[in-house]
Amino acid sequence: MHEFKKHNKTMGVYWLKQYLKDTLICIKLKSREEIITLPNFEEYKDKSYEEHLHVLDKNKISEYTFKWQEKVFSSYELQKYSDAYNCSSETEIKYHDMIKDTNVKSNKVFTYIDEDYHLPLPIAEKGNYKPYGVLNLKNCFAKLHLGDMNDNVSHSMGHLFKSQDHISDNDQWMAMHIVLDNSEYNEESQILFKQEFNLLSLYHNVTHNYLMVSPDVNNLELKPYSVEDGDNILPMEYGVEINFEEKENGEDLKHLLNNLFKKWDKKQQQLLNFVMPRLGMKNVFVTFEIVSAFGFEMDNLYIDFQIKIPDDITVKGDLKGRTHVSKSSRREDKKFWGYGHVVELELEYATGMDLNPLKIILETISVDWWGRHRTEGYSCLTLSLEPGEHRHDLSCSRSEELDKVEAESRRFFVGGCHLIKDLDVLINPQLYEAKFRYVSTGSVAVRWRVVCQRRRAHADVHAHTQPHAHAQSLLAGAEAVLRHYKKAKATLAAATECLPTQLEQ
Amino acid sequence: MAELHIIGQLQSASDFNDPNSLFCRYSFQTGPNWTLISGFSEGQTASGKENFKNSVEWVHPLDLHYVCKGIQGWPKIILQVSCLDSIGRSWVVGYGCCALPSTPGYHTIKVPCWVPAATTVTERLKQYFIGGGHELTQTDIINLGSDRFKLITQSRGEIKLNICIVLRNLTQFGVEYK
């Protein structure tokens, strides 16, 4: 009966989250623990105390750490590649340069990298399988005659077969082997007997970015692997550890989250920095503009304005003023006076209060050749504080005496207008006894713009900004950014991998 | 951050009744809460002579983008129309100022212009025969109302502005503009 070889080595497959160059592979090697034999007196009588201790150190665990595709030389390789006459291929010349340029030392546990072509790749291995071997999946699938049932294969099965074909045909692989050198050398480091034990084989599928580890990662204490090669078994055990450098990933994420927090904080500060009205108050910004006047009799006109506000409103801005004196120009056979006088008001009042509209009294006054001022017309505007744009042509009228001759004489010789002493009569004419009449004169064009601002409820403000949804989208974006960053970093590393070598050359 | 886009054109000037070519310098002025992100707050149009309708067409493009952290100091445009005579001299023939609309959408604005008037007969004769005119030494007077009553001015033509206003994020801060 055929005797199966007993071993506990299994293969592991790892899907890589980041570039493999950052991965650390650690081999822990120790002597196999056997039944402790009692020491003989003869063995130790000629040895010193320190040598006794050295014997005890046999159980010490040796650690060997390698990076992906890091070349470590054995004594044999070091001797071989040191001599330039032994180096013919490009790889051998490269190793010769490495040994020559840097102080490279040999190691008991060394590596064969992809360029060494030490062992066949998984694709080639498939070709070595026996045609009817159980492991030859391709043959198994061929036996199923799947090609004959194209239409009957379900979608999911078809995808499976397709992926199998894909793996076997077009994949690119990189290999690395970690080997224990058990060769015997003479005193001049010349090899007498070459014996190497393959401890670990790593195959990286570049196409799909996964790593096959043979044997898989283990625990040295609980499940040690024995150092063996075919029929030879060494009294040693080893363990495999692979560190995929998750730490860096975490650091990147931490850095990214810090940046996100800064951005978020800045956004919140921007929200808070906006000048808002006081709590419970509403601000109204009014830009009132006296645009022009037309249709008046006399020239050299200016407009005096007074703004009457209710008592419960706080106002910033000029409530009284006058425009510049303007000489007319003719437009469409009418006299026209341009002003473009802008008055800005900032009103503040309590929210929920019924606001009485503002009243603006405009008095158009002319200046004659002698410098006398004559009122050409009064106008009263009820200023609407509805947000938006407003425009109005205000018709003006002036008061004059009931006797027309007296009125014209006074106007021509004296000027001025003594009939209205309190301009409130224009706002509430019914409250005053009128001893004069009004004569309509011209018009004044005005426009005003109103913008209101009030402090909204906290929730309302945030309903617009949607910070929660925004945070989720930011985090989702951050993950995407992190993925792209990793991908770009791996691409950059792959692109610059051979750059130092080229520079050296 | 609240944003304001001003897109439009400085369309034309009309009724200046000036035989020389006219051009316009413009400047946008804002309060301290406003920051210009893109575009130019100052500029100058090409010069052109009036057509048979007494109008000079400039069609000068305007494209500004402001961010603000407060409503105070809403942008205003200050205009200064100058003439360019046949021997290359230029002087101011009109000042104007206008607050920009606060509602989003398309607006046509007519800005009346004025210029400091010649107060004496000599000056008037000099301006008629030689050219030139009075200019403001402090241009703040154009957009500020105070101290303006001391000026004696001559009304000139109008400047026509076609402007689109785009507002963004203002409602987040409780601003009502419509």
Tens-digit pLDDT profile for residues B95-142: 999 999 999 999 999 999 999 988 888 888 888 888 888 888 888 888
H helices within chain B, ranges in order?
Answer: 121-129, 140-143
**DSSP secondary structure code for residue A108 in this structure:** S
Q: Which residues of B touch A292 (CB under 8 A)?
A: 112, 155
A321 to B145: CB separation less than 8 angstroms, yes or no: yes
Residue A261: what pLDDT? Answer: 84
Tokens 């034999």 — which residue?
A: A37
What's the pTM value of the predicted model, to 2 decimals? Answer: 0.55
Least confident of A29-33, A161-165, A223-227: A161-165
Nearest to A326 among B99, B110, B114 (CB): B114
Of the listed ranges A158-162, A177-181, A270-274, A310-314, the one predicted with least confidence: A158-162
pLDDT of A475 > 70? The answer is no
Q: Rounded to whole angstroms, how far apart are CA atoms A53 and B135?
A: 105
pLDDT at residue A55 greater than cutoff 60: no
At A402-456, the pLDDT tens digits run 777 877 777 777 776 666 777 777 777 766 666 777 888 889 999 999 998 887 7
- Given a cut of 80, whether residue A53 has pLDDT beyond it is no
The closest of B14, B146, B22, B163 to B93, measured between CA atoms, is: B22
Please name the residues in contact with A68: beta carbons below 8 A apart, sequence gap of 6 or more: A20, A21, A23, A25, A176, A202, A204
Residue type, B101: P
Closest Cβ–Cβ partner in B101, B148, B173 for A453: B173
- In this predicted structure, what is the pLDDT of residue B57? 93
User: At A466, is the pLDDT very low, low, confident or very high (cuts 50, 70, 90)?
Assistant: very low
CB-CB neighbors (< 8 A) of A336 in chain B: 112, 155
Calculate the CA A97 to chain-centre distance.
44
Which chain B residues are Cβ-neighbours of A321 within 8 angstroms?
A: 145-146, 149
- B162 half-sphere exposure, CB direction, 13 A CA radius: 9
Question: Which range (A45-49, A202-206, A493-497, B67-71) has the least confidence?
Answer: A45-49
Q: Which two tokens stand for residue B41?
A: 């707050």
User: Cα Rg for chain B, rounded, in angstroms?
Assistant: 18
Identify all chain A residues contacting B148, using CB atoms and an 8 Å cutoff. Answer: 322-324, 341
Report B:78-97 residues touching A (Cβ under 8 A).
96-97
Which H or E element spans position A28? strand A24-31
Q: Which of A225, A218, A258, A265 is nearest to A240 (CA)?
A: A218
Angle at which helix A90-101 crosses helix A75-82, to 10 degrees, equals 100
**B118 CB near a chain A CB, below 8 Å?**
no
* Amino acid A71: pLDDT: 87
Whether A460 has a pLDDT exceeding 60, the answer reads no
What is the reported pLDDT for A194? Answer: 83
CATH assignment of B2-173, among 3.30.1860.10, 3.30.300.30, 3.40.50.2000, 2.60.40.150: 2.60.40.150
Chain B contacts of A340, Cβ < 8 Å?
96-98, 111-114
Instruction: Give tens-digit pLDDT for A183-209.
Output: 888 877 778 888 888 889 999 888 888
Instruction: Return the DSSP state at A20.
Output: G
| Chain B interface disruption, residue of A326, A355, A385, most B CBs within 10 A | A326
B99 to A341: CB separation less than 8 angstroms, yes or no: no
Q: Is residue B116 a contact partner of residue B133, using CB atoms and an 8 Å limit?
A: yes
A438 CB-contact burial (10 Å; exposed 0-12 / middle 13-18 / buried 19+): middle
Q: What is the mean pLDDT of chain A?
A: 77
Please report the sign of the dihedral spanned by the C-alpha atoms of residue B4, residue B10, residue B15, residue B16.
positive
Q: Is A389 helix (H, G, I), strand (E, B) or coil?
A: strand
Taking CA–CA distances from B31, the nearest residue in chain A reads A344
Q: What is the pLDDT of residues B65-103, one digit of tens each?
A: 999 888 888 999 999 999 998 888 999 999 999 999 999
More confident residue, B94 or A485: B94
**Bond preceding residue A215 cis, omega within 30 of 0:** yes
Instruction: Answer yes or no: are the C-beta atoms of A245 and A18 closer than 8 Å.
Output: yes
A390 chain-B contacts, CB cut-off 8 A:
none
CA A251 to chain centre: 15
pLDDT of residue A270: 62
Q: DSSP string covering A248-296, please?
A: HHHHHHHHHHHHHHHHHHHHHHHHHHS--PPTTEEEEEEEEEEEEEES-
Do B69 and A275 make contact, defined as CB atoms within 8 angstroms? yes
Write the pLDDT tens digit of every residue in A322-362. 899 999 888 877 888 999 899 888 888 888 777 778 889 99
Residue B102 contacts A where some CB pair is shorter than 8 Å: yes
Predicted confidence band at A11 (pLDDT cuts at 50, 70, 90)? Answer: confident
Q: What residues of A are in contact with residue B149 (Cβ under 8 Å)?
A: 302, 321-325
Distance from CA of A412 to the nearest CA of B (A): 22
Instruction: Please give the span between the terminal C-alpha atoms of chain B, in angstroms, as a whole number.
Output: 19
Which candidate from A270, A275, A342 shows the least CB-CB separation from B143?
Answer: A342
Rounded distance, CA A366 to CA A372, Å?
Answer: 8
Widest Cα–Cα separation across chain A? 154
Cβ-nearest to A387 among B110, B143, B178: B178
pLDDT score for A245: 66
Pairing of strands B152-168, A325-327: parallel
When the pLDDT of each residue in chain B is averaged and rounded to a whole number, the result is 90
Instruction: Return the residue of B nearest to A303 by Cα.
Output: B149
ipTM of the complex: 0.91
CB atoms < 10 A from the CB of A456, how many? 17
Give B95 to chain A, closest Cα distance, Å. Answer: 9
pLDDT of residue A138: 57
* Closest to A390 in 3D by CA, of B56, B49, B177, B73: B177
Is residue A276's pLDDT more than 70? yes
Q: Indicate the pLDDT class of residue A166, thresholds 50, 70 and 90.
A: very low
Contact B149 A327 (CB under 8 A): no
| Among the partner residues B143, B149, B175, nearest to A451 by beta-carbon distance | B175
d(CA A25, CA A242): 5
pLDDT above 70: percentage of residues in chain A: 73
Lowest-confidence range among A12-21, A124-133, A212-221, A476-485? A124-133
Mean pLDDT comparison of A4-13, A21-30, A413-422, B44-53, highest-scoring range: B44-53
The answer to whether residues A237 and A220 touch, using CB atoms and an 8 Å cutoff, is: yes
B83 and B91 Cβ atoms separated by less than 8 Å:
yes
List all residues of chain B from 35 to 64 with a beta carbon under 8 Å from chain A: none
Contacts of A296 (CB under 8 A, 6+ apart): A335, A337, A364, A366, A376, A377, A396, A441, A442
